[in-house]
Amino acid sequence: MEKMTIKNDLCSGCRACELVCALNKLLENNPTKAALKVEGVFPKPGKYYVNYCKQCGNCAEVCPTLALYKDEGVFKLKKELCTSCYLCVDACPKQVLFINKDTNLPLKCDWCRDCSVVCAHEAITFLEEA
């Protein structure tokens, strides 16, 4: 199975991944609504980090309505079961589960891979799990 892999030292902070994520998930041109986040630490030491969903499943564990379920290694949301209690948002250790203010639903990365398509620098790739 392919797994999302991040190499922070290859990230150049362009945020194309955030932009394409919001377009894919919401058809919106707004990177602040993406399910991943790029952060830079400047002026010292001059590094970027990508906060992303590792599909750890903490969100599903706390979901009282079983709206979050596992599908081939990826945790996905059944919208009709979600009550917008946001326990999942609080439980996310990487803080990459966001609330979509328009729908009030949590926005969850489902490893659609579009971020890796626009990451020309290959900081984000999907590699076969060893």
Partner 1 sequence: MLYGYGGKNLWIDLFTQSYETSATDEYMAEKYLGGRGFTAYLEYTYTKPGIKPLSDDNHLYIASGPLSGSLVTGAGKVEIGAKSTLTGGYGDSNMGGHIASEMKFAGYDLITLKGNSEKPTVILINNDKVTFQNASHLWGKGALESEALLKKQFGEDYQFMVIGPAGENLIRFACINHDFGRQAGRAGMGTLMGYKKVKAIGIKGSKGFPLKDPARVLELGKKMYSDTRNKPGYRYWTDYGTPGVVRWVNENTAFPTKNFFTSFMEGYESLAGEVMREKIVVTDKGCFGCPTPCGKYSHVVLGEKDVYVEGPEYETIALLGGNLLLKDIKEVAYLNYVLDDLGLDTISGGNVLAFAIEALEKGVIKESDIGRKVGWGDVEGLVHLSEMIARKQGIGELLAMGVKEASKALGGGSQDYAMEIKGMEISGYESRYAPAMMLSYMTADVGAHHNRAWAVTYDVQKGRDKLEDKAKRVIELQHIRPLFDALGVCRLQWVEIGLTLQHYAPLFEAITGREYSWDNLLKISEKIWNLTRVYWFREVPGFGRGWDWPPKRWYAEPIPDGPAKGQLISEDKLNYLLDDYYTLRGWDKEGLPSVDKLKELELDFVVEDLKKRGFYQY
**Cα–Cα distance between 42 and 20 in angstroms, integer?**
25
Output the smallest distance, CB 60 to partner 1, in A.
28
Smaller CB separation from partner 1, 42 or 130 = 42
Neighbour count for residue 98 (Cβ, 10 Å): 20
Q: How far apart (Å, rounded) are the C-alpha atoms in residues 63 and 79?
A: 12
Q: How far is the CB of 68 from partner 1 (least distance, A)?
A: 25
Task: Name which of 74 and 118 has its Cβ closer to partner 1.
Answer: 118
What's the closest the beta carbon of residue 114 comes to partner 1, in angstroms?
A: 7
Binding site for partner 1 (CB under 8 A): 9-10, 12-16, 19-20, 22-24, 27-33, 39, 42-48, 114, 117-121
- CA atoms of 109 and 118, how far apart (whole Å): 16
